[in-house]
Structure formats: C-alpha cells, structure tokens
Amino acid sequence: MKKPLRSEAWFGGTGKDAFIHRSWMKNSGHPEDMFDGRPVIGICNTASDLTPCNAHFRQLVEPIKRGIYEAGGFPVEFPVFSCGESNLRPTAMMFRNLASMDVEESIRGNPIDGVVLLAGCDKTTPSLVMGAASVDLPSIVLSGGAMLSGWFKGKKIGSGTDVWRLSEDVRAGVISMDEFLAAEESMSRSPGHCMTMGTASTMASMVEALGLSLPGNAAIPAVDARRARLAHLTGRRIVEMVNEDLKLSKILTRAAFENAVKVNGAIGGSTNAVVHLLAIAGRVGVEFSLDDWDRFGRDIPTLANLMPSGEHLMEDFFYAGGIPALMNRISAALRLEALTVNGKTVGDNIANAEVYLPDVIRPLDQPLVAHGGMVVLRGNLAPDGAVLKPSAATPALLEHRGPAVVFNDIEDYKHRIADPNLPITAQSIMVLRNCGPKGYPGMAEVGNMGLPAKLLEQGVRDMVRISDARMSGTAYGTVVLHVAPEAAAGGPLALVREGDEITLSVSRRELTLHVDEAELARRRAEWQPPVALQESGYRGLYRRHVMQADTGADFDFLLGCRGSEVPEESH
C-alpha cells in the first residue's frame, strides 16, 4: 500500500486545522483537486536582486512548476536566505549555516513532500543541500547555470580569475586603470553565475557528481534554452521521486562522496568544495573526512582545461560534453554503482557520454595536471590539516622552504603590503592569520593575498602563501588554505613570528614550522585569544558554535539529520 504523504497531515481531512491550511492556500486560486493527496513539491528559491548570480531564478522557476503540474504534483515556491558572494559582508560563508537553518526549518515546518533546490551562487548550493539533508525528504538540485563567456578586446575573460589577473596587471603597470575598469561589463554579460570553474561551477559539478541533479546540470549556460528544458524535466522527476520515496540519504552515500572528490580533481575544482562536502556529509552522517580528499583525489588527473587552472570557460565545457563526458573519461576510477536522482546509476548516466572538444576536456594521457586532486598537508603548523590545490599552483613552489612574513590579520596585511621597506623577497612565505571561521569571522576568501607591488614589478607572479582563510574558487597560486586549528582558536599559526623558517612539501604532504617545541610552548603561554566570543547577535552565535575547517565549518548543533517529523499542530 502506498505510504501516505506527509502533506496529508496538513491538507487531508475535514477538521478545523485542515480547513485553515486549505482555505488560506486557496486565496491564490488553487482549485479543490490540488488538495486531493497529490505530492506537494517545495521549490526552494534563492532568487534575490542582491545575489545577481541567482536573479534569473524568478523566470527559471516557471518551467519547474510546469513539470511538477504535468507529473501530477502541486508546486509551492518559497524563498530562503540567499547568500550572494559578490555583496555580502563580512563574507557569504558566514551566512551559509544560517541559510541552511532557514532551508531545513522551512522544509520541515511546511506541508512539503519533496523539494527542488534552486541554487547557483557559491554558498547557495551547499546551504540548500545541507538544510535539505538534515530533513531527508526526496530532493533534487537544479543549478542556475553559468554566465556566457566574458570577452574583452578579443580575448576570453573569466569571472574572478581575470579580476585577480587584471588587478595585478594594473599594480604592476602592465595595463591602465581605464582598461581595468572597461573590463567590468565585458566580464558579466548575461544572467548566471561565475563562468570560470570557480566555487559556483564547482558546486554545480559536485551536485551532479553526487547524483543530486539530472545529468548535464552543471554545464548548461544559464541563458541556453536547454537550462529551462532541464528545469521542466527536474519538475517532472521530483514528483516521481516522491512516489518512489527516493530520499536524499539514498543518494548521498559514501560512494557518492568518493565520486565527487574524484570529479573535483578532474575539473580542477575549488578548494571551497572541501569544506562544503565535509559539512554536507556531517548532515547525513556519512563517514567522510578531510583525508578522504587526498586519498581519493591523489591519482586523479585534471582534465578540464578551464580557468582558473586552464584557459577555457563553462560555456566551452558545455559544448565539450560537460560533466557526463568528463566522468566517462575517468569512469575507471568511479563508483559506477552509485544511485542518482533519476533512479539510474552513475554508470548508466555516463555510459554513452562523449567528449566533443578534446582541448577542453583533455584525454587521460594529456592531462592539464597529472595529479590534480586536492592535497591535504599536515605538520606542526597544521595539526588538523590544511589544503592546497595543485592545479592552481606553480609546480616549482610545491617544494619550498623560506622565511615567514607574518600578517596578524587582514588589516595588518592591508597596512603593510605596499610598504617599500617590507622585508620580503620571492623566497619569503607570506603568512596570514586570524582569518579562519572564528577569527574573521566566516573564513573569508583572502588566502590568495596579493603580492607586494615591488615584487610584481620585478616580474614575480606567485609566492607560497599560508593562512587559515579560504580562497575564491576563481583564484590561483601556491596557496595553503584552511589551516586547522585556526589562529583564533589557538592553532600553531598564531605562534609564527617574522623570519621563522617554514617548509612546504607537497610530495611529503608536509607543512612544518622550524621552531622547537620549547620555544613554541613559551610563545603559547603568552598568546591571548583575539576574538570576543561573547559578541551579541548572529556574529556571536557564529563564533561560539562554528567548527573548524577540517570538519566543514558547520555549527556544532547542526550536525546530523533530524528528519521530517513535526508532531505538533500549529493551531
């Protein structure tokens, strides 16, 4: 016998409460048969004028609704906190967990049987998946799609990546300020999210690799008619998923996470995915650790020739075959038995996928980077781990020893970086601290701190940089990120002093501060925590409850799945 839908607890029956639930919904003109026991499908919408990457979702929601109606469901759209990367201060990441709470409680508290998660900008995707995972109803992701390729003076320019590049060129005197400003409208020329393989495209790729979206979801441009077609099919499919009781926890298995790590290596994906996937795994209770990123990504070559690691953009990736074609290329490494939202396995979905542009999705024997997976470093400077993305780094700097130039926080960096007397050379290692989850707060994307102008003028374009911060997925450089524990939580990063020698060895997975234990103990005794944990409001709550980067920077009280049951009636 078919399991009763949870929405029937609101809309079924003849009592007072059912009257209330139906009557108020009917003020939108819904006829009686919308309440006849058909699946009610929530469309969790992150559309916002302040999240330009998601602003087109007001239109994209329409084909989703068509698909839901067509399959016999009842679509109900609801807004949730929209974490836009380009405007939010101090950093959108500080609001990812808040948004996930909004999503979780909005789904659980309402008459919803299944949900479409409509996301695009960097943090909107993980916040929606985290929230939905803690409820565990049938759920499917539709990404909003990337912007069309940027073009400036006859050359492709990519979101973020070329902002960093052009701003360094201005400081180095290679281009004029007028040229720099003229690139603005050429970079962002259509609806959609960043069209480099930054965090937004990475997270869209991650949901596809995890099996949470229909095949092809990650790469279709926002303005391509096939995005609306996919939206229509997504609407149809979620109704079937409710009928099949295909919950999120059946998709988000360990095999799915292993596949996602491997795909991340093959796309040269964002380091932010490390934190987000750990947080998602924490919600579903799947065993998945920071070390799994290194273990499963280690031998994966980067095949996607996309900025920031390579030269092309998401539009090219779509024409080349997208994620199904890329997964087909690395299929020998994948867990092909993993189930996906369309009811088929990964193996079924990618079996016939072809690469159409071999310079965009390279053959296995001509990779962009031979070992593209995320590197997890440990040592006395990062006892709980740190992360480096080899595909974005300079190979010659992956084994490096040098003296530290220490910036105590981002303000200290801003004050001193332009000082011509700053004692820094190309061999120095730039250390930035107090920018982690508690310290900033929100673990800002400042880890790829710009190099000093005096070195840029000498032609230096990369240096080893170490911090407890994150880095934009669109950025590049030999940048060690997510050092855990962070300085503000008393991690050893807090104890580094100007001139201390540090070794980075990617081959040994090592990050070592060459200061003996007795001296470190002396420094530790003098250390004072810089952060007022008793701060009021959300910032205070965030600082008190955020966990460290190595476990996903979620709130300690949000770990796990709390299910969909709400025993209490509202009236």
Shorter beta-carbon distance to ligand FES: residue 267 or 513: 267
What is the smallest separation between the CB atom of 160 and ligand FES, expressed in angstroms?
A: 6
Look up tokens 């071999």; give the residue: 358
Residue 52 CB, nearest approach to ligand FES (Å): 7
- Closest separation between CB of residue 86 and ligand FES, Å? 4
C-beta separation of 353 from 324 below 8 A: yes
Query: Which of positions 73-112 make contact with ligand FES (CB under 6 A)?
Result: 85-86
What is the closest distance, in whole angstroms, from the C-beta atom of residue 470 to ligand FES in the complex?
A: 14
Q: What does the alpha-carbon distance between residue 81 and residue 88 come to, in Å, rounded to a whole number?
A: 12
Can you tell me whether residue 321 is helix, strand or coil? coil
Cα-to-chain-centroid distance, residue 174: 33
Write the secondary structure of 389-401 as one string of H (helix), E (strand) and C (coil): CHHHCCHHHCEEE
Task: Tell me the closest approach of the beta carbon of residue 473 to ligand FES, in angstroms.
Answer: 8
314 binds ligand FES (CB under 6 A): no
Residue 56 in contact with ligand FES, rule: CB under 6 A? no
What would the two tokens of residue 108 be? Answer: 């659980």
Q: Count the Cβ atoms, other than its own, within 10 Å of residue 153.
A: 9
Beta bridge partners of 466: 431, 480
Type of residue at 484: A
| CB nearer ligand FES, residue 188 or residue 243 | 188
For the CB of residue 84, give the shortest distance to ligand FES in the complex, in Å: 6
How many residues touch ligand FES under the rule CB under 6 A: the total is 10
For ligand FES, the closer of residues 53 and 130 by Cβ is 53
Q: Distances in Å between the alpha carbon of 203 and those of 125, 213, 267?
A: 7, 11, 11
Q: Which is nearer to ligand FES, 203 or 266 (CB)?
A: 203
Dist CA 12 CA 476 (whole Å): 55
- Strand partners of residue 114: 41
- State which residue, 83 or 255, has the beta carbon closest to ligand FES: 83
Contact status: 122 vs ligand FES (CB under 6 A): yes
Cα 517-436-400 angle, rounded to 5 deg: 55
Contact call for residue 6 and ligand FES (CB under 6 A): no
CB nearer to ligand FES: pick between 55 and 300 = 55
- The 508-547 site mask, x for binding ligand FES (CB under 6 A), equals ----------------------------------------
CB of 159 to ligand FES, least distance (A): 6
The piece of 190-198, 277-285, 346-354, 501-509 that touches ligand FES (CB under 6 A) is: 190-198
For tokens 């720099």, the residue is: 180
Burial (CB count within 10 angstroms: exposed 0-12, middle 13-18, buried 19+), residue 567? exposed
- Nearer to ligand FES by C-beta: 163 or 274? 163
- Minimum distance from residue 94 beta carbon to ligand FES (Å): 15
Which positions from 192 to 231 touch ligand FES by CB under 6 A, shown as an x/- string?
-xx---x-x-------------------------------
DSSP character for 451? P
Residue 358 CB, nearest approach to ligand FES (Å)? 27
State how beta strands 114-119 and 139-143 pair: parallel
Q: How far apart are CA 184 and CA 232, in angstroms?
A: 33
**Spatial separation of the C-alpha atoms in residues 203 and 264, rounded to whole Å:** 9
Nearer to ligand FES, 48 or 428 (CB): 48
Stretch that binds ligand FES, among 191-199, 230-238, 258-266, 400-408 (CB under 6 A): 191-199
Nearer to ligand FES by Cβ, of 194 and 278: the residue is 194
The nearest distance, CB 98 to ligand FES, in angstroms, is 17
Decide if residue 53 touches ligand FES (CB under 6 A): yes
Give φ, ψ of 356 to 5 degrees: -100, -25
Chain-centroid distance of CA 490 in Å reads 26
Residue 287 structure tokens: 């065993």
- In the bound state with ligand FES, the residue whose beta carbon lies nearer, of 85 and 136, is 85
Of residues 123 through 142, those in contact with ligand FES by CB under 6 A are none
Out of 159, 243, 270, 272, name the contact with ligand FES by CB under 6 A: 159
Which positions from 425 through 454 interact with ligand FES, judged by CB under 6 A? none
Tokens representing 154 are 């006859």
Q: Is 550 in the site for ligand FES (CB under 6 A)?
A: no
Spatial separation of the C-alpha atoms in residues 37 and 66, rounded to whole Å: 19
Sorted by sequence, the CB contacts under 8 Å of residue 307 that are 6+ apart come out as 158, 161, 162, 196, 197, 313, 474
Q: Which two tokens stand for residue 69?
A: 């109606």
Q: What is the dihedral of CA 545, 546, 551, 554, to 10 degrees?
A: 90
Q: Is 121 in the site for ligand FES (CB under 6 A)?
A: yes
Nearer to ligand FES, 51 or 478 (CB): 51
Shortest Cβ 411–ligand FES spacing (Å): 24
Q: CB-based contacts of 483: which residues, under 8 Å, 6+ apart?
A: 381, 382, 386, 436, 466, 467, 468, 491, 493, 511, 549
Q: How far is the CB of 217 from ligand FES (least distance, A)?
A: 15
Point out which residues pair with 403 in neighbouring strands.
Answer: 501
Measured from the CB atom, the residue of 145 and 385 that comes closer to ligand FES is 145
CB of 204 to ligand FES, least distance (A): 10
Q: Which amino acid is at 122?
A: D
Which of residues 51 and 512 has its CB atom nearest to ligand FES in the complex?
51
Residues that bind ligand FES (CB under 6 A): 53, 85-86, 121-122, 159, 193-194, 198, 200
